Amino acid sequence: MLTCRGLVARLTDFSCGDLTLSQERESKRHLARCESCASYWRSYRTTVALERETYREPDAGWGEMPAELAGKILAAARSLGSLPWHLVHLLSGIAAGPLLAFYLR
């Protein structure tokens, strides 16, 4: 059974469509029965949408991020699943937002 922590750890992959079909179904089932995670998921999507809009401006500069740096930041963000939730939320809010905007625009 997927825990709340497990769901949050895979939200980036869920958002990008990088989960297996089984993982995606398990995540959707969790979101359907857990209001706390569903609320977090809604705020996550809203944040990504707002950041996409913000960094769509031509002189935002995110298009110049070196691929190697982006890869290292993504790897670090994925390893955050083992940290306490409050740190995961804090760090993901600071670091993952602009990175997601870069990749999802």
At its nearest, how many Å lie between Zn ion and the CB of residue 10?
12
Is position 34 an interface residue for Zn ion (rule: CB under 5 A)? yes
**Residue closer to Zn ion, measured from CB, 26 or 52:** 26
- Token pair listed for 17: 């469509």
**Is 32 a residue that touches Zn ion (CB under 5 A)?**
no
Are 102 and 55 in contact by the 8 Å Cβ rule? The answer is: yes
Stretch of 33-41, 60-68, 85-93, 97-105 lying at the interface with Zn ion (CB under 5 A): 33-41
Category of 57 on φ-ψ map: left (φ > 0), alpha (ψ -120 to 50) or beta: beta
HSE-up (13 A, CA, CB side) for residue 4 = 13
Q: What is the DSSP code (8-state) at residue 3?
A: -
Token pair of 98, please? 């602009």
- 32 vs 104, which CB is nearer to Zn ion? 32
Q: Considering beta carbons, is residue 63 or 86 the nearer one to Zn ion?
A: 86
Interface pick for Zn ion out of 9, 11, 37, 96 (rule CB under 5 A)? 37
- Nearer to Zn ion (CB atom), residue 4 or residue 32: 4
